[in-house]
Chains A and B, each alone.
Chain A
Amino acid sequence: MADKQLVADSVVLLEIYKRAALLKANDERARKVILSGQIAMVYYSYRGQEIIPSVMGEVLRDDDTICTIYRGIHDMLGKGFPLRELWAELAGRTTGSCKGKGGPMHLTYPAKGVMVTTGIVGSSAPIANGLAWAAQLDGSDRVSICTFGDGASNIGAVHEAMNLAAVWKLPTIFVCQNNLFAEHTKFEKMTGGQNIAARADGYGIPGVRVDGNDPEAMYSAFAEAVARARAGEGPTLLECMTFRFFGHNFGDDDSYIPKEQKAAAMEADPVPRLRARLIADGVATEAELAAVEAEIEARIDDAVEHALASPWPEPDDLRFDVFAKEIAA
C-alpha cells in the first residue's frame, strides 16, 4: 500500500476537523455527565489535546495498533473506537467493550487496533514494542503507536523501550503528548534538558518536537514517522506540544497552573481555530460544519442513552476472564 501523503491538504484538514470535533464534543459530554451524576467515574480530560489523535487517526490504518494511557480516550476515538461500546464501558455496563471490567483507564478495542490502555505512567511503551515485533515477524508494514505524556518521559520503562526499539529497528512510534504538566508539576521543573525529543539522540533514533496543536505541522511529522516505520527504517520519537485545559483529573482545582497560561492556551483552543480556518479558506461553510457537529451530538446522545439503558454486570462475572477458563464457583 502506498504511503499516505506527507502534507495535509484541505481535504485532509477537513477530515482532521471532523475527528477533532467528535473528540471535543465527547469530552464536553463526559464532564457534563459526571457533573449531572448520571455516571460516576474517574476522568482525565484531554480537552485541548484533540489535534494530535485526530491527525493520527487520519494517517493510520485499522490494523495499525495503539497502546495508550489513562488520559487516552481522545487517542482511542481518533483510532475509531465505537461510541456505544465506549460509553457503555464508561458506565460500567455489560455492553461496554470490556463488559464493564476495565473502565475508563483500561478501554480496549482490538478491531480498531486499540490494544492496551494502561493506568501506569509509561507502561504503554514496552508493550507497543511487542506489537511492533509481531508486525516484523508477520512481514507486515503495520506500525505500533504508543502515546504517553511528558511525565512518562522520566520513567524508566519509556527509556528501556526506546532503546530496544532502536536496536531492534522496530516500527514503533513514540508519541509524547507534552501538555506541560506531569500531574500537578510543571514540565520544566522536573525534566532535565527540558526537551524530550532531544532524548531520541541518545538512542540514535529521530526525535522531532512539533506543535501538536497545529494540524499541518503535526500531520507532516506524524506521516513521516509512519512512512519510516512502514519502510522498515525504525522508530521515531515525536514530542507533540499541547496543553490540557482541565487539570490532571477532572475535579482538581488546577491552582498549580498559572491563570494567564491557562487563559492563553484556551484562547488559542486548536479545535475552533481549525474550524474558523476551514470556513475562512472556503473548505467548508458554517452550515456544513454545524451539520457535522449536530450529527456528532446525536451519535453521542445515542451512545449515552444506550449505555445507561444497558444491564449492569452480575457478581458472578468475576469468575470469568481471569483465566481463559472460568474459575470454579
Chain B
Amino acid sequence: MSATAEKAAKPKVTIIEAIAKAYHDAFADDPKVITLGEDLADPEGGGIAKITKGLSTSFGDDRVRSTPISEQAIMGAAIGASLAGYKPVAEIMLMNFTTVAMDMIVNHAAKLRFMSGGQTSVPIVIRTMTGLGFGSGGQHCDYLEAWFAHTPGIKVCAASTPEDAYGLLRAAIEDPDPVIFIENLPTYRVPMAFELPASDHRVPLGKAAVQREGSDVTVVSYARMAVQARAAAEQATAEGISVEVVDLRTIAPWDRETVLASARKTGRVIVVHEAVKEHGAGAEIAAVINEELFGGLKKPVKRLGGAFSAVPYSRPLENAYAPDADRILAAIKDIVS
C-alpha cells in the first residue's frame, strides 16, 4: 500500500477535534491545568469555536472561566496563576487581539523568569486563532508569529495536522515556559486523514517534522502553508520533481538541525509562511541557512510570504495576498530550473 493510500484508509479527523481532546485529556491528567478566555465556559457556549464545550461542565467553573473582553486582564490572570504553580491555558480569541495584551505577554510572561533570576516562571499557554480565508479583513486574521519569535523567553508553535495539534498542545501545556499556540481557522474543520492520537502522544517543542522526503528541493513551512506545501509537493512529484516538506511545528525555537540537514541534502530551499514576507520568520531561517551553508547551496534560498499590506477583504485581493499550492509549485519549478 502506498503512503497515500494508507493515509486515505485512516479515519478522518479535524484539528479542532484534536485540540478539544488535548484540552480534555490535559484537564483529566493534571488538576493544575486551568483555562480562561472570552466565552469559554458552557453557559457562554464553550468558546466561539466550541473547542472548550463541555469542559466547564466536566471540570468545574473554578478551572474553566469565561472572562470579560479584557485581554490584558486575561493574560495577567494567567501569568499570576502560573506564578503560583498553576498551568493556565489562556485563550486570546484571535491573534490580532494579542496586540492589546502585548505588555503582559512580552514584558511579563516572556521575561519574568529571566528578570527574577530564575526564581519565578510562567508556564502558560496562549491559544490563539488566525488565518485568512473568510474575508475578515485587516484585523482578524494576521499571522504575528515573528513578533513573538523575536522575543526571548517565549516559544511559538503551530500545527498543520490533527496529530501534531494534539501532541504540540499537550507538550505546550506541560512545558515550563510560556508558549503561544497558533491555530489556523480555515483548516480547523477540514477532515484530514490522521488518527486522533492516544493520550500519551506528545510532539516535543523545537522538533520539526519531515512530512515528505525528497531530494531536489526542500520546502520549509508551518500551519496552513504546510498543508499547501504538501499539496504542491504532491503535484511536483507527479511532474518528476522530488520535494522534501519540512513542517517546523515550532517556530521559536526552531529546529535548525532538521532544516539544515534537509538543505544540505537538496541544496535548494523555499521557506513559506502566510505572514508578511518582509522581516518574517522566513528571513531568519534563510539567514541561518546562508550562514551555515554558504557555498553549499545550488540556489539562493527563496522566500514566499504574505503581501506587504493589511490582509484585504475583497476575494480576489485575499486570494492574491498569501502563497498557495500553485505559487509554491511555481517556486519549486523555478528553483529547480
Chain A interface residues toward B at CB < 8 A: 65, 67, 96-102, 106, 108-110, 115-116, 118-120, 123, 125-138, 144, 156-157, 160-161, 163-164, 167-168, 320-324
Q: Is B176 an interface residue (CB 8 A)?
A: yes
A128 near B80 with CB under 8 A, answer: yes
B83 near A116 with CB under 8 A, answer: yes
Q: Which of B106-121 contact A (CB under 8 A)?
A: 107-108, 112-121
Please name all residues of chain A whose beta carbon is closer than 8 Å to the beta carbon of B305 when the two chains form the complex: none
Q: How many residues of B contact A (CB 8 A)?
A: 41
A119→B108 CA distance, assembly (Å): 10
B118 near A321 with CB under 8 A, answer: yes
B68 near A167 with CB under 8 A, answer: yes
Q: Decide yes or no: A126 and B76 within 8 Å by CB, A108-B119, A323-B153, A324-B176 being known contacts.
A: yes
B86 near A101 with CB under 8 A, answer: no
A109→B118 CA distance, assembly (Å): 11
Chain B interface residues toward A at CB < 8 A: 34, 62-63, 65, 67-68, 70, 72-73, 75-86, 88, 103-104, 107-108, 112-121, 152-153, 155, 176-177
Tell me which of A108, A109, A110, A126 contacts B104 (CB under 8 A). A126
Smallest beta-carbon distance B294→chain A, Å = 21
A123 near B107 with CB under 8 A, answer: yes
For B82, the closest partner residue in chain A by CB is A130
Smallest beta-carbon distance A237→chain B, Å = 15
B79 near A320 with CB under 8 A, answer: no
For B65, the closest partner residue in chain A by CB is A168
Please name all residues of chain B whose beta carbon is closer than 8 Å to the beta carbon of A125 when the two chains form the complex: 76
Please name all residues of chain B whose beta carbon is closer than 8 Å to the beta carbon of A167 when the two chains form the complex: 68
Please name all residues of chain B whose beta carbon is closer than 8 Å to the beta carbon of A67 when the two chains form the complex: 80
Please name all residues of chain A whose beta carbon is closer than 8 Å to the beta carbon of B73 when the two chains form the complex: 126, 129, 157, 160-161, 163-164
Smallest beta-carbon distance B74→chain A, Å = 8
B116 near A106 with CB under 8 A, answer: yes
5 contacts between A and B (CB under 8 A): A108-B116, A126-B77, A129-B73, A133-B77, A321-B118
A320 near B84 with CB under 8 A, answer: no
B117 near A101 with CB under 8 A, answer: yes
Please name all residues of chain B whose beta carbon is closer than 8 Å to the beta carbon of A102 when the two chains form the complex: 115-117
Smallest beta-carbon distance B250→chain A, Å = 12
Of B68, B73, B113, B114, chain A has the most CB atoms within 10 Å of the CB of: B73
For B113, the closest partner residue in chain A by CB is A321
A127→B122 CA distance, assembly (Å): 11
A120 near B77 with CB under 8 A, answer: no
A322 near B153 with CB under 8 A, answer: yes
Please name all residues of chain B whose beta carbon is closer than 8 Å to the beta carbon of A110 when the two chains form the complex: 83, 119-120
Please name all residues of chain A whose beta carbon is closer than 8 Å to the beta carbon of B152 when the two chains form the complex: 322
Please name all residues of chain B whose beta carbon is closer than 8 Å to the beta carbon of A134 when the two chains form the complex: 80-81, 83-86
Smallest beta-carbon distance B184→chain A, Å = 25
For A163, the closest partner residue in chain B by CB is B68
Known: A108-B116, A157-B104, A167-B68; 16 extra A-B contacts, CB below 8 A, are A67-B80, A98-B117, A101-B116, A110-B83, A110-B120, A116-B108, A116-B120, A120-B103, A120-B107, A125-B76, A130-B77, A131-B84, A137-B34, A163-B73, A164-B67, A324-B121
Smallest beta-carbon distance A115→chain B, Å = 5
Tell me which of B62, B76, B155 contacts A127 (CB under 8 A). B76
B112 near A130 with CB under 8 A, answer: no
Tell me which of A106, A126, A132, A136 contacts B62 (CB under 8 A). A136
A161 near B76 with CB under 8 A, answer: yes
